[in-house]
Amino acid sequence: MTDTIETVSRQSTRAVLKEFWFYFSVNRGAVIGLFVFLALVLVAVFAPYLTPHDPNMQYRDVFLLPPSWMEGGHVDYLLGTDAVGRDILSRLIMGSRLSLFVGVIVVVIALTGGIILGVIAGYYGGKIDTVIMRIMDVILAFPSLLLALVLVALLGPGLINAMISIAIVLQPHFVRLTRAAVMAEREREYVVAARVAGAGPLRLMFLTILPNCTAPLIVQATLSFSNAILDAAALGFLGMGAQPPTPEWGTMLAEAREFILRAWWVVTFPGVSILITVLAINLIGDGLRDALDPKLKRS
């Protein structure tokens, strides 16, 4: 008897995943984004083995070397070198680790905090809800990058502090989303049934209601992933994020700024890396949105 229930529930999970993949794969852009993203993850994971040179090694005789296909370039330094002779390609590969790391950590922090606060606010309502939402309103009253900048100024420059600041700034979106979803689900019959059956508040909040609110959260998570990467790069660019010589893509752009007219490659390639990463994630996010809520399928 329990066997059949288990097989049925496993089958239905597979059925749900299959249906999800059907809707997702219809969107060609989303599939391309997914492959690019997976490729990036592989690059990040195997970075130390993929870099042709040590990212921090300064080759004194090859400052500002152009990319290999241009005049003056060298095939050893495929994408050229920066102002202190470091190989740009190696730095970019290492930088992918940092960017993905930033995305993951920020989303995990923002999701966790956002879900907990949102579920509590949505479930209990009343004064608790008001207090939590007002705090979120205060965070949203400040332009996001400015607030992150000020928070980093408070905590001190550095990648970790940048990640914490960005997570705090992105928090309210998750809280609002979770709260709205919880409030919509709170009065549904299955919740009332569980309550009548004797489920306590914790169980109700996190085991009964929350699993049914995941769709918008997943979409928001991908959006925040890409925002986190962009914001971290921006902070790095302003000198408040990852500090030199860390090969974070935004920090690389800060160092490159004075050479924009002399050596365009030092500026272009880190930016292209950011663009490709964020674009891939946004494509996935679009595909997820269409797949998870076919009713809203408008594009």
Partner 1 sequence: MFGFILRRIGMLIPTFIGVTLVAFFFIRLLPGDPILLLAGERGISAERYAELQHSFGFDKPVIMQYLDYVVGLFQGDFGMSMVTRRPVWDEFFTLFPATLELSFVAIIIAVFIGIPAGVIAAVKRGSMFDHTVMTGALVGYSMPIFWWALLAIIVFSGWLQWTPVSGRISVMYFFDPVTGFMLIDSLLSDQSGAFASTVSHLILPSCVLATIPMAVIARQTRSAMLEVLGEDYVRTAKAKGLTKLRIIGLHALRNALIPVVTTIGLQVGVLMAGAILTETIFSWPGIGKWMVDSISRRDYQVVQGGLLMIAMLVMTVNLVVDLLYGLINPRIRHN
DSSP per position, 58-108: --TT-TTPPPTTSTT--TTSTT-B-TTS-BHHHHHHHHHHHHHHHHHHHHH
Single residue of 26, 150, 193, 207 touching partner 1 by CB under 8 A: 150
CB of 199 to partner 1, least distance (A): 33
How far does Cα 37 stand from its chain's mean position?
12
Is 39 one of the binding residues for partner 1 (CB under 8 A)?
A: no
Is 234 one of the binding residues for partner 1 (CB under 8 A)?
A: yes
Is 126 one of the binding residues for partner 1 (CB under 8 A)?
A: no
CB of 150 to partner 1, least distance (A): 6
Q: Pseudo-torsion of CA 223, 227, 230, 234, nearest 10°?
A: 170
Single residue of 135, 180, 183, 199 touching partner 1 by CB under 8 A: 135
d(CA 42, CA 53): 18
Pick the closer one to partner 1 by CB: 208 or 250: 250
Integer Rg of the chain from CA: 23
DSSP per position, 162-187: HHHHHHHHHHHHHHHHHHHHHHHHHT
Single residue of 89, 111, 182, 230 touching partner 1 by CB under 8 A: 230
Q: Say if residues 269 and 245 touch (Cβ distance below 8 Å).
A: no
d(CA 65, CA 122): 57
Single residue of 98, 149, 166, 177 touching partner 1 by CB under 8 A: 149
Is 10 one of the binding residues for partner 1 (CB under 8 A)?
A: no
- How many residues bind partner 1 (CB under 8 A)? The answer is 44
Region 240-259 residues binding partner 1, contact defined as CB under 8 A: 240, 250, 253, 257
Strand partners of residue 81: 87
Which of the ranges 13-21, 47-55, 104-112, 264-272 carries the binding residues for partner 1, by CB under 8 A? 264-272
Site residues, partner 1 (CB under 8 A):
29, 134-135, 137-138, 141-147, 149-150, 153-154, 156, 226, 230, 233-234, 237-240, 250, 253, 257, 260-261, 264, 267-268, 270-271, 274-275, 278-279, 282-283, 286, 298-299
